[in-house]
Chains A and B, each alone.
Chain A
Amino acid sequence: MANIVQFENVGLRYGVGEETLCDVSFTLRSGQFYFLTGASGAGKTSLLRLLYLSQRPSRGIIRLFGEDAVILPRGRLPGFRRRIGVVFQDFRLIPHLSAADNIALPLRVAGMAESEIARAVREMLNWIGLAERAGARPATLSGGEQQRVAIARAVIARPELLVADEPTGNVDPAMAERLLHLFQSLHRLGTTVVMATHDWHLIERVPGAHHLHLEHGRLVDPDPPMPPPAEARASTIVRSGL
């Protein structure tokens, strides 16, 4: 199985001060499902930002789709980004576009014909159960509905790599499960999925999923394997207090 992503001793520092990510090394294999956990501020979003090429590391090696992503010239980044779907932690829907137009964006950017786009968007809206809200602006959607639109936008172009930053953060457990099913069906089509989450229970629901855990910007073994979130936070606080 090919490696789609490879991090070697990656460090990330915002400005001066301590490194937000430190000596991060891991490999993502094509077609696998990965969970990324860690306390708030542990660096999950930062790591994902490196992954979806919104940030360059301060040091280390990142290989993406078999190429060195650190020295990739700017002109080639758009081509790489189109192979990656991103669900941003804060959604980043475009406020003056309808749900349908937001979902259509990646296809428009890729230059697909409008007739094909219309069909794909309709399919997508049905998939996320928002067909009747196609014309709604993001501000008129609930948090969970916005999240579903953001997910639809991330997956509509059938990316090779799907990066989702707490995509179930705003929804009730039932909806979280429904959304997880969306990711799983995409995963079954061959997409590599990386999902940051605080919800350790989701991990049990995806058989064969891998688990990366961040603590203070370092990857550590998720140990014990499935500690309840409250306990994980407590141990982090204890450690940072030392």
Chain B
Amino acid sequence: MTRGAKVRETGAEARALDDGGGAHVMSWVIAIMLFLTLLAGAAGLATARAAGALDRQMAGRLTVQIVEGEAQRRDAAAAQVLAVLRTQSDVARATPVAQADLARMLQPWLGDDAEAAGLPVPALIDVDLTSDDSAAIARVRSAVTRASPAARVDAHATWLGPVGRLLDTAAWLAGAIILLMLAATTAVVMLAARAGLEAHRGTIEVIHMLGATDRQVARLFQRRIALDAGIGAVAGGVLAGGAILLIAGQVGALDSELLGGMRLGPVDMGALVALPFGFVLLAVVAARLAVLRQMRRML
């Protein structure tokens, strides 16, 4: 082999090993995986919060309806039921819903002055129980129906239950997605670390031959990967943060009682903010394992 050929080979290697030579796989991997994981995480946590808020709203709450066409009889029955409710030890609080409030709530559907038009409007009583067990609900229900056959008792848990279960399922699903994302990220980060190692192989071999210890080489490579991963984490984090803020703003603007529970608390925020750091750490650990394993194969 001629000397000249070897020199040209060295030149070609130079371009292949250059910093710009596609060694930034890690930045892309981290940015994309982090973006997706943060979105799934925010959605999952917010949904879990909403489910929790709903649970608290439903637990131990009843609505008593007195359905009676004639207003005077309706009001008398309502007063009687209210009096009975207030003697029950299971009842913490019983509040009649003012007819004016009810009329306002019904106004969009029934038009102004529904009562005057002869439409029967029920009387409503909101009841908070001291406990949310079904025995207490049953006791209150039987006391109420004994007081007035026109009274109907609705436990909130009964009719909001399916919504709560849906939210619970969605939150669990988000959790599962996050776990899968973390597993995929770990695998891809390992591959990216190995790709980075391959890109810097020549450099690493030379530094090794100049008397660098395995830990010195590992530290060098870790720093390189930490930088790449850091760039990716900032990019993915900023994009995901923007998307989350956008959606949070839109949810807030909805003014919906159900979606209003989708609020991230400080703990949730902390967990989401910790994710990018976790990803960079993961990349660094993967890089370290990859480089140390390769170093041990060298003399």
Within 8 A of A (CB), among B4-41: 4, 6-7, 9-11, 13-15, 17-19
**Contacts A105-B207, A106-B210, A109-B207 given; does A93 touch B10 at CB 8 Å:** yes
A137 located at the interface, meaning its Cβ lies under 8 Å from any Cβ of chain B in the complex: yes
- B5 to chain A minimum Cβ distance, whole angstroms, is 10
A55 located at the interface, meaning its Cβ lies under 8 Å from any Cβ of chain B in the complex: yes
A143 contacts B3, CB within 8 Å? yes
B119 located at the interface, meaning its Cβ lies under 8 Å from any Cβ of chain A in the complex: no
**Contacts A95-B15, A143-B4 given; does A81 touch B211 at CB 8 Å:** yes
**Contacts A92-B206, A106-B211, A110-B211 given; does A170 touch B10 at CB 8 Å:** no
A144 to chain B: closest residue by CB: B7
A122 located at the interface, meaning its Cβ lies under 8 Å from any Cβ of chain B in the complex: no
Residues 208-220 of chain B, each 1 if its beta carbon lies under 8 Å from chain A, else 0: 0111110010000
A232 located at the interface, meaning its Cβ lies under 8 Å from any Cβ of chain B in the complex: no
By secondary structure, the B interface counts as helix
C-alpha spacing A77/B216, complex, angstroms? 14
Q: Which of B3, B10, B207, B299 contacts A55 (CB 8 A)?
A: B299
B206 contacts A90, CB within 8 Å? no
B3 contacts A40, CB within 8 Å? no
B212 contacts A143, CB within 8 Å? no
**Contacts A53-B299, A56-B299, A139-B14 given; does A170 touch B7 at CB 8 Å:** yes
A96 located at the interface, meaning its Cβ lies under 8 Å from any Cβ of chain B in the complex: yes
**Contacts A138-B14, A143-B3, A170-B3 given; does A94 touch B203 at CB 8 Å:** yes
B206 to chain A: closest residue by CB: A92
A109 contacts B216, CB within 8 Å? yes
B1 located at the interface, meaning its Cβ lies under 8 Å from any Cβ of chain A in the complex: yes
B211 contacts A109, CB within 8 Å? yes
By secondary structure, the A interface counts as loop
B18 contacts A95, CB within 8 Å? yes
B202 located at the interface, meaning its Cβ lies under 8 Å from any Cβ of chain A in the complex: yes
Residues 249-280 of chain B, each 1 if its beta carbon lies under 8 Å from chain A, else 0: 00000000000000000000000000000000
Chain A residues in 8 Å Cβ range of B203: 94, 96
**Contacts A77-B299, A109-B212 given; does A95 touch B13 at CB 8 Å:** yes
A82 contacts B6, CB within 8 Å? no
Residues 84-102 of chain A, each 1 if its beta carbon lies under 8 Å from chain B, else 0: 0010011111111000000
Within 8 A of B (CB), among A157-179: 166, 169-170
C-alpha spacing A170/B9, complex, angstroms? 14
Contact sample, A vs B, 11 pairs, CB 8 Å cutoff:
A54-B209, A56-B299, A78-B213, A82-B211, A90-B10, A92-B202, A96-B19, A105-B207, A109-B211, A139-B14, A169-B3
Q: Which residues of B contact A (CB under 8 A)?
A: 1, 3-4, 6-7, 9-11, 13-15, 17-19, 202-203, 205-207, 209-213, 216, 296, 299
Q: Which residues of A contact B (CB under 8 A)?
A: 40, 52-56, 74-75, 77-82, 86, 89-96, 105-106, 109-110, 137-139, 143, 146, 153, 166, 169-170
